[in-house]
């Protein structure tokens, strides 16, 4: 017999706490190691395009890695330093998740089932990520976020634009994401399932 037990998240620790204002910038955030397979350059290319059209957006990277200098040079060269920020490693990511209008973006080329998607969605944050590995089992495209093909910058632009133009969907899709976490990825349920098997 095969029984699937998904990764889990502590829903008490990761929960929604608004600290911003409703008219603040839309904040796109990626939490990952800074390396090619995580798709940061694709995200920057999409953001560069959007930055020419919108002035109410920002992009935050949390993480460290060998591509930091490459990415930082791209930001400087393309005049994005006022809107793109590198925060390095953070032992607690929650302060970056509590703005009212935050969207998690992870355009990876290679993944399993990223814990960061579970953590951010638990905080009522919708997600844009790639349709690879276990990610489609978490993100229901059009319900709690959107799925894109790896390397497809135009799709990233389309779905990032959707959240900019429809800020109310950040809230509604965020709530749907939290509901999904409670139903499938709750750490308490995870513990009970392991107890049953063991």
- pLDDT of 46-97, one tens digit each? 999 999 999 999 999 999 999 999 999 999 999 999 999 999 999 999 989 8
Beta bridge partners of 26: 57
Contact 90, 16 (CB under 8 A): no
Taking residues 3-12, report their average pLDDT. 88
Question: In whole angstroms, what is the distance from residue 64 CA to residue 7 CA?
Answer: 23
Higher pLDDT, 101 or 29: 29
* Residue 87 tokens, joined: 């925060």
pLDDT at 18: 61
Question: In whole angstroms, what is the distance from residue 37 CA to residue 157 CA?
Answer: 19
Contact 128, 195 (CB under 8 A): no
pTM: 0.92
pLDDT at 190: 87
Question: In whole angstroms, what is the distance from residue 181 CA to residue 23 CA?
Answer: 27
């Amino acid at each position: 017999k095969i029984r699937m037990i998904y990764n889990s998240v502590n829903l008490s620790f990761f929960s929604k706490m608004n600290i911003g204002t409703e008219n603040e910038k839309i904040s796109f955030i990626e939490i990952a190691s800074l390396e090619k397979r995580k798709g940061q350059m694709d995200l920057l290319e999409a953001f560069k395009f959007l930055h020419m059209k919108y002035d109410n957006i920002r992009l935050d990277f949390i993480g460290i890695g060998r591509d930091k200098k490459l990415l930082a040079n791209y930001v400087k060269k393309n005049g994005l330093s006022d809107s793109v920020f590198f925060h390095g490693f953070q032992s607690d990511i929650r302060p970056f998740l509590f703005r009212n209008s935050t969207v998690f973006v992870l355009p990876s080329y290679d993944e399993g089932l990223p814990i960061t998607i579970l953590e951010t969605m638990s905080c009522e944050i919708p997600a844009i990520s790639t349709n690879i590995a276990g990610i489609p089992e978490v993100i229901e495209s059009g319900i709690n976020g959107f799925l894109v093909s790896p390397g497809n910058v135009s799709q990233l632009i389309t779905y990032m634009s959707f959240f900019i133009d429809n800020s109310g969907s950040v809230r509604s899709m965020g709530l749907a994401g939290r509901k999904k976490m409670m139903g499938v990825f709750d750490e308490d349920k995870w513990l009970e399932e392991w107890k049953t098997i063991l």
